[in-house]
Chains A and B, each alone.
Chain A
Amino acid sequence: EPEVTQTPSHQVTQMGQEVILRCVPISNHLYFYWYRQILGQKVEFLVSFYNNEISEKSEIFDDQFSVERPDGSNFTLKIRSTKLEDSAMYFCASSERTPIVDEQYFGPGTRLTVT
């Protein structure tokens, strides 16, 4: 069964460093998402991406965040200058059509630890 994959599974970085989290969505999907979950808290929506542009973003997704689909398979989340409060599990998801119509498939997550 097709699945969303994410690399790395765990990333440790120092405050102020840039990190890139990588995701490979399911190949025929057209909608892509990033979520994060701070330990013990809610899963929070960050951004949705369709047709090579951001379709929706939350207030969390400020100027330090960016997303890109650099080629036909990868979908990346970049954090320019990490802060301690960016430590969280980051989930990528994809869907063939809007998630009201089609299921969002989630990856296993990348745990980001900022020290």
Chain B
Amino acid sequence: AQSVTQLGSHVSVSEGALVLLRCNYSSSVPPYLFWYVQYPNQGLQLLLKYTSAATLVKGINGFEAEFKKSETSFHLTKPSAHMSDAAEYFCAVSGTGNQFYFGTGTSLTVIP
């Protein structure tokens, strides 16, 4: 079985500060891991994914995430927050490739 836990349902950062959104996974098979972003009144958009290649994954909008098997983590980071980063972020895991398990989401607020 697969699941993800997102620590912190709300995160606030100042504009220009580091963004760190936490995700820990549980998987009985080698996992595929994803981060999605959701802007108000829109669908989820893929930020990046880990599919067993490089452990440091770079995505769109300057985000990246590192797969750490020893810590069962896949935290999302961005060196410098921008006002446009304010959104809901979801971590997801898949083992089979078709069935995705999402976390409860983290709402990111960027303070000017």
Contact = CB atoms under 8 A, between A and B. Distances in A.
Interface of A: 4, 31, 33, 35, 40-45, 48, 55-56, 58, 91, 93, 98-100, 103-109
Interface stretch (B10-18, B19-27, B70-78, B100-108): B100-108
B51 A91 contact: no
B98 interface: yes
Contacts of B36: 106
Interface string B35-77: 0100001111110010100000000000000000000000000
Given A100-B32, A106-B45, A108-B41, A43 B99 contact: no
Nearest to B102: A43
A41 B97 CA distance: 22
Interface of B: 32, 36, 41-46, 49, 51, 90, 92, 94, 96-105
Contacts of B104: 40-42
A40 to B, nearest CB: 8
Contact of B100 (A99, A105, A108, A109): A99
A100 B51 contact: yes
Contact of B44 (A31, A40, A56, A91): A91
Point out which of B46, B94, B100, B102 has the most chain A C-beta atoms below 10 A from its C-beta: B100
A43 B97 contact: no
A43 B44 CA distance: 10
By Cβ-Cβ distance, the 8 closest A-B pairs, closest first, are A106-B43, A43-B102, A106-B44, A100-B97, A48-B98, A56-B98, A103-B46, A98-B97
Nearest to B92: A43
B42 A99 contact: no
Given A42-B104, A43-B90, A56-B99, A109 B43 contact: yes
Contacts of B98: 31, 33, 48, 55-56, 98-99
A45 B43 contact: no
